[in-house]
Amino acid sequence: MTINAVEMKNISKSFGSVKANDSIDFSVKKGEIHCLLGENGAGKSTLVKILFGLYNKDQGQIKINNKPVKINNPAGAIKEKMGMIHQHFMLVDRFSIIENIIAGQEPTRTWGTSIDKKKAAVKVKEISQNFGFDLDPEALIENLSVGEQQRVEIMKALYREAEILILDEPTAVLTPQETEELFEIMESLKEDNKTIIFITHKLNETMEIADRITILRDGKKIGTVNKNDTTPQKLANMMVGREVLLDLEKSSKNPGKEIFSIKNLSYKNPVSGLELNEINISFKKGEIVGLAGVEGNGQLELEEIIAGLKAPDSGEILFNSQKITKVSTRERRNMGLAHIPSDRNKYGLVGNFSLAKNILLGSEWNPEFKNKFMIDFDYLNNYTDQILKEYDVRFSGKNSRASELSGGNQQKLIIGRELSRGAEFVLAAQPTRGVDIGAIEFIHRQLLKIREEDKAVFLISAELDELMSLSDRILVIYEGNIVARGKVEDFDQEELGLLMAGHSREER
């Protein structure tokens, strides 16, 4: 008889009127890597949070190793030999790896008066070697990369003798190389007969690492399949509930004249110390220029400088051959700049405003929306209805606030607002971050449509698939420098990944 490491039966959980989990059955065999796949809001996180004791379920039973258990809090879950690695790490920056790992379970000397670090170090080293973590236990957390910090989190769970590991969207913060390294660790854990629950909404990762896959949609379980019996297309359709076009058709097209350009632009971020170094980019009509890079390599600074939110230290920005380096954000927007911001909640939306008032954002002084001194709400409401319809924004009620929309619909609202302003140059930063497959497909098509209309798009993204399928030209940014540039055909995914991680082209 196979042992089910985890068996969840008939699990339901509601938040207010929303059924986050609706009678879900979910079982994981011992020693397998089981992918929990679904769009945002499908109920993946809720399900594992119930398993780990972070949420109380409304109904259902949980069995661990075929034995019924009651888990009321994370401590209870740890007792059942579970470990959870969250998206946001829970580490103390100023402590060493080993101090972080033993925190809360410090081995003490005989009288319990001081910490026996040596004893801990032996155990940590053992874990590190067995599973290929490749970390110096004395290193401080603040000096580690995101991928390394994640490994510390996994080691922490293993130190607490976890047999079942829950990884909540672990690859969202990783570079392609780091993802590969994580997968290697996962494989070696599997060889040691550990059980892994891996949450993701990325199809290619699922196909690479999973043994079995359970798909959730709208709080319901759609099915569990063996990796070998399925395809990415089938999985996508199950996730979204309809036929999804994974591949986009991009027409071949000659770019027109230059419309926007950045010349010798330099900037030093006074807080992080990151420096943009003599950046030169030219954008032509009817062209999508992609900027590839791991987050935090200067993309945000570049985005904010183009939008007029930050002033560069030196260099020039030209829009339609006009210098706009010192021009205000409002004027840039009036000249035809559209901006899909990388941080939609910080910049793109006002959560407490109605959808119509979010559509008005940036156009409130535009005579089109005014009736003498007053804002013409009748006109605005009609205009809003039109955009929401055209850009397929789904909302519950007429007076919904922006914060009540799902991430994908929020993004579609922003894109609808920005693209309907008749812009000439579209700055699209991480346009599909945290967005569902269905919405991604839609957003990609909108960007291609803009390209067809002979407008220029600057696509800043960390998603290689997205960059490869949309861009005409690609630039790679690493530590504030453009380290490579060329036509999209000149790159392959692996090479881009290496360049993003700071390897130069010759090194290969």
Q: Which residues bind other proteins (CB under 8 A)?
A: 52, 54, 73-75, 84, 86, 88, 90, 307, 309, 328-334, 339, 341, 346-353, 357, 360-362, 364-365, 370, 373-375, 377, 397-399
Q: Which CB atom, from 150 or from 471, has the smaller least distance to other proteins?
A: 150
Tokens of 78: 């740890």
| Residues 484, 284 contacting (CB under 8 angstroms) | no
Smallest distance from other proteins to CB 417, Å: 10
Residue reference for tokens 């804002």: 375
Smallest distance from other proteins to CB 350, Å: 5
Q: Is 315 helix (H, G, I), strand (E, B) or coil?
A: strand
Smallest distance from other proteins to CB 404, Å: 11
The CA-based dihedral angle spanning residues 192, 194, 200, 202, taken in that order and rounded to the nearest 10 degrees = 30
Mutual angle of helices 437-452 and 232-240, in 10-degree steps: 100
Smallest distance from other proteins to CB 397, Å: 5
What are phi and psi for residue 118, nearest 5 degrees?
-65, -45
**Which of 258, 240, 202, 231 has its CA nearest to residue 392?**
240
Q: Which CB atom, from 103 or from 245, has the smaller least distance to other proteins?
A: 103
Smallest distance from other proteins to CB 339, Å: 7
Smallest distance from other proteins to CB 407, Å: 16
Q: Which CB atom, from 33 or from 84, has the smaller least distance to other proteins?
A: 84
Distance CA 327, CA 317 (A): 10
Smallest distance from other proteins to CB 369, Å: 8
Tokens of 339: 């901006």
* Residues whose CB falls within 8 Å of the CB of residue 56, separated by 6 or more in sequence, listed in order: 13, 50, 72
HSE-up of residue 250 (Cα within 13 Å, Cβ side): 23
Q: Which CB atom, from 20 or from 292, has the smaller least distance to other proteins?
A: 20
Q: Which CB atom, from 51 or from 439, has the smaller least distance to other proteins?
A: 51
Residue reference for tokens 């210098």: 323
Q: Is the dihedral of CA 292, 293, 299, 300 positive or negative?
A: positive
Cα distance between the two ends of the chain: 48
What are phi and psi for residue 414, nearest 5 degrees?
-60, -45
Beta bridge partners of residue 165, listed in sequence order: 83, 196
Angle (nearest 5°) at CA 266 between 310 and 497: 100
Smallest distance from other proteins to CB 449, Å: 23
Q: What count of other Cβ atoms lies within 10 Å of the Cβ of residue 130? A: 13
Q: Is 249 helix (H, G, I), strand (E, B) or coil?
A: coil
Smallest distance from other proteins to CB 391, Å: 18
Q: DSSP characters for 179-242? A: HHHHHHHHHHHHHTT-EEEEEE--HHHHHHH-SEEEEEETTEEEEEEEGGG--HHHHHHHHHSS
Q: Which CB atom, from 175 or from 358, has the smaller least distance to other proteins?
A: 358
Find how far residue 350's CA is from the centre of its chain: 21
Q: Which CB atom, from 330 or from 389, has the smaller least distance to other proteins?
A: 330
Smallest distance from other proteins to CB 3, Å: 26
Q: Which CB atom, from 95 or from 347, has the smaller least distance to other proteins?
A: 347
Smallest distance from other proteins to CB 363, Å: 8
Q: Which CB atom, from 29 or from 86, has the smaller least distance to other proteins?
A: 86
Q: Which CB atom, from 54 or from 121, has the smaller least distance to other proteins?
A: 54
Q: Which CB atom, from 234 or from 398, has the smaller least distance to other proteins?
A: 398
Smallest distance from other proteins to CB 418, Å: 10
SS3 content of the chain, % helix, strand, coil (to 5): 35, 25, 35
| Residues 85, 166 contacting (CB under 8 angstroms) | yes
Q: DSSP characters for 436-500? A: -HHHHHHHHHHHHHHHHTT-EEEEEES-HHHHHHH-SEEEEEETTEEEEEEEGGG--HHHHHHHH
Q: Which CB atom, from 365 or from 486, has the smaller least distance to other proteins?
A: 365
